[in-house]
Chains A and B, each alone.
Chain A
Amino acid sequence: MIRVEDLTVSLGGTHVLDDVSMAVDDGEFVGLVGPNGAGKTTLLRCLSGVLSPDDGVVTVDGDAVGSLGAREASRRIAVVPQDTQLAFDFSVRDVVAMGRTPHRGRFDRASSEDHDVVDRAMDRTEVAQFAEKAITAVSGGERQRVVLARALAQEAPVLLLDEPTASLDVNHQVRTLDLVADLVEDGRTAVAAIHDLSLAARYCDRLVLLADGGVVAAGPPERVLERATVADAFDADAAVVDDPVTGTPAVTPLSAPAWSLDAHVHVVGTGAQAGRVVTTLAAAGGTVTAGPVPEGDAVATAASGVDADAVTVPAFQGVDDETARAVGDLAGPAAVAVAAGTVPAAALHALPDSMPTYATRDATLPDAVDPGDRVALEDVPGLVADGVRGNATADEGVPRSLSFGPEDPPVDRRDVSDPRTTDD
């Protein structure tokens, strides 16, 4: 059990950690997340006792880490640092064996138990096959695993990891965290600083979100990784969706488009393309609604990821009157509608009659619909930067748009003399 109480650390005159408190229970896998400079590494250094805080205390099983000697501390806590200086020709086995230092007296020779522990640690981290290679001759990913093996050889109940996956390819990222999760399963406690929020959410029991030297949120991943919290802490917009593969929250940072949007846009359509339109419009700052969308469709996921309201229908069930009414209510206040992705006819017909509707260039429209000129999303009148609302008016010539109504066949808007706006 690790307790951190009112930890305050200044480095070079700057508050790096300010009054941080947290606790880690035995057998827990806790992820430290947060933007660069949030104090994750500093917190880990305090946990391991390498850094003495200016104020506050870190206790491990009731003992202050600072008061434990290096030897005792290293028997309780093993550290996998972000980068280890290993610019010399020790063999991989030698480096792993250094993990036995806390267990060997100054005059002890390596016991057979030491050798066994080292061998097991190397097997478990899959470094045994290059055990005799020089540490300078292995790749960055292999080296990271060697350092992990060294920490395992320490046989400490607590494992602290600083960006254990930073230099690894996707395969080894997952394998490394799988291994840590296994170790936690076996009863160890792990605290890891992890940059990748989705990976952190996937593996950790709990996350502690640090920003500006303080704890912003702590708890189960799905609670900590709420869109507003993430946006606030990282100062960047992000979509938070339930990853259909892992079933855990996946955070995808959104690149802010060059243009901004200050309007309500309703998105109609299905599939990944439509999903991207939803997130792009949301990232541009607009109010986005969507629907009707089939449950579980990429659009539904994207909409929930950016907290956009959507009318969902059970998959394959078509649009009934009730749904159409709900769509009408939701889309009613929107300035424009954008048809994107694969757009079923029934979905178009659910939109309010008066809604000016544009199709993106790559939208797949029903056969009966004349798409007119396709436009790039950012070229849709009414979406672009300034004077957003009501731009889809006659003075633009209102080209390239489509209008649908239950009775009216789809028409090319160029044929309509007075395009409608929903601005007032």
Chain B
Amino acid sequence: MRAGTTATAYSTALLVALLATIAGAATVGPVSIPYATVAKALLNATPVPVGVTVQGGLGLELANPFSFDVAQTHQLIVVGVRAPRIVLAAVVGFALAAAGTVMQGFFRNPMADPSIVGVSSGAALGAVAAITAPGVVVAVTGPLGVPKGVGIQTAAFVGAIVAAFLVYAIATEGGRTPVATLLLAGVAVQTFLGAVVSFLLVHSGESIRRAIYWLMGDLNNAAWGDVAVATPVVLVLFAALLPFTRDLNVLLLGEEDARTLGIEVERTKRVLLAVGSVVTAAAVAVAGVIGFVGLVVPHVLRLVVGPDHRVLLPTSALAGGIFLVATDTLARSTAATLPVGVVTAAVGAPFFLFLLRRREVHEL
């Protein structure tokens, strides 16, 4: 079977599975709502483009074609309370697994994850600063023309991008960015930023609980606004990654071989690194640091669909969405409502070890 066909077949199946998981997750909660009701409520809320408006700029004219009969409270619980969190989990899981796949291929290193170039640490510093020391943030942003400071998400996003760029700049010499140097620079910067975050936490007082929840990855405060911002960024950048999947395959042969096969290695690396980092940053900004999704999901999918990135990237991304929706549902249905990052790590780490013992995770 050709790669394109394989990718389409797997992706379609996983997309269906993702939608089913989302609907399934929406039935779970303090109020149990039947599957059919959930499906109707979600369809009621799904806008469909019906035309194009040109008034005041080009826009899509949307309408909700469905009007199933659903109890008002159920409609509200499903669409207003549960759906944003679940959809955000899907988007974040999708983003992290996609970025993880790219980073593992890029670094030819099975331990690479989306945060390897310091994205999460930078985001953590931004977010923790915004939570625990808003005064400091204002002091930084004031001279830049943002006198009131910025929200947690924005601070996290900016921190992530700055950290990634810093790591890249440190590792680059004479237009070349050796992967090994990048890896080590990433580790060093992560360690340093971790120290700063720890310092902030020690002096955080009241807000420490919020900061820690953020650091563990938490979807508790998910809102449609987050979905609306993160989704387009993630989807557009994901689409930008797809044409590079063949390059990723060739890069697996080693950079010299890739160059003799016609890949502009340094340029491709820059693109992959930049896009992968922004995708990760968008996810981390809205969900906090959620570990293990970007590490484990690509490995599992590689065992199933093989190493070809044309198949691996879309399937990993969709599976990442499924994985995070499932684990987040688990997280919010526990008595203590755990942060989702705790659950992904608690579920992911043993599973990863199982794979490690079983076979071939040592190879990429």
Q: Are A74 and B262 in contact (CB under 8 A)?
A: yes
Q: Are B253 and A154 in contact (CB under 8 A)?
A: no
B-chain residues with CB within 8 Å of residue A49 when the two chains form the complex: 259-260
Binary flags per residue of B251-275, CB closer than 8 Å to A gives 1, else 0: 0111011011111110000000000
Q: Are B364 and A88 in contact (CB under 8 A)?
A: yes
Q: Are B260 and A78 in contact (CB under 8 A)?
A: yes
Is there a chain B Cβ closer than 8 Å to A94's Cβ? yes
B-chain residues with CB within 8 Å of residue A104 when the two chains form the complex: 246
Cβ-neighbour of B260 out of A50, A69, A89 (below 8 A): A50
Total number of B residues with any Cβ neighbor in A under 8 Å? 26
Cβ-neighbour of B249 out of A74, A87, A98, A102 (below 8 A): A98
Q: Are A102 and B363 in contact (CB under 8 A)?
A: no
Binary flags per residue of A86-110, CB closer than 8 Å to B gives 1, else 0: 1111100010001101101011011
Residue of A nearest to B268 (CB): A70
Q: Are A84 and B261 in contact (CB under 8 A)?
A: no
Cβ-neighbour of A48 out of B243, B249, B260, B265 (below 8 A): B260
Total number of A residues with any Cβ neighbor in B under 8 Å? 34
Is there a chain A Cβ closer than 8 Å to B29's Cβ? no
Is there a chain B Cβ closer than 8 Å to A75's Cβ? yes
Binary flags per residue of B190-213, CB closer than 8 Å to A gives 1, else 0: 000000000000000000000000
Q: Are A79 and B252 in contact (CB under 8 A)?
A: no
Docked pose: A318 CA to B51 CA in angstroms: 108
Q: Are A98 and B260 in contact (CB under 8 A)?
A: no
Is there a chain B Cβ closer than 8 Å to A85's Cβ? yes
Residue of B nearest to A110 (CB): B2
Cβ-neighbour of B259 out of A50, A89, A94 (below 8 A): A50
B-chain residues with CB within 8 Å of residue A50 when the two chains form the complex: 256, 259-260
A354 to chain B, nearest CB (A): 67
Binary flags per residue of B94-132, CB closer than 8 Å to A gives 1, else 0: 000000000000001000000000000000000000000
Docked pose: A104 CA to B243 CA in angstroms: 12
Binary flags per residue of A402-424, CB closer than 8 Å to B gives 1, else 0: 00000000000000000000000
Q: Are A101 and B363 in contact (CB under 8 A)?
A: no
A-chain residues with CB within 8 Å of residue B4 when the two chains form the complex: 109
Q: Known interface pairs A79-B260, A106-B243, A107-B243. Does A88 touch B265 (Cβ–Cβ under 8 Å)?
A: no
Cβ-neighbour of B253 out of A77, A78, A98 (below 8 A): A98
Which residues of B (287-313) have their CB < 8 Å from a CB of A?
306-308
Q: A86-B253, A88-B363 are in contact. List 6 more A-B contacts (CB 8 A).
A: A71-B262, A81-B256, A84-B254, A88-B364, A102-B262, A106-B243
A–B pairs, 26, beta carbons within 8 Å: A48-B260, A50-B260, A69-B264, A70-B262, A70-B263, A70-B264, A71-B264, A77-B260, A84-B253, A84-B254, A85-B252, A87-B363, A87-B364, A88-B307, A90-B306, A94-B3, A98-B250, A98-B253, A99-B261, A101-B263, A102-B261, A102-B262, A104-B246, A106-B246, A107-B243, A154-B261
Which 10 pairs from chain A and chain B are nearest by CB?
A102-B262, A74-B262, A79-B260, A71-B262, A88-B307, A101-B261, A106-B243, A85-B254, A70-B264, A50-B256
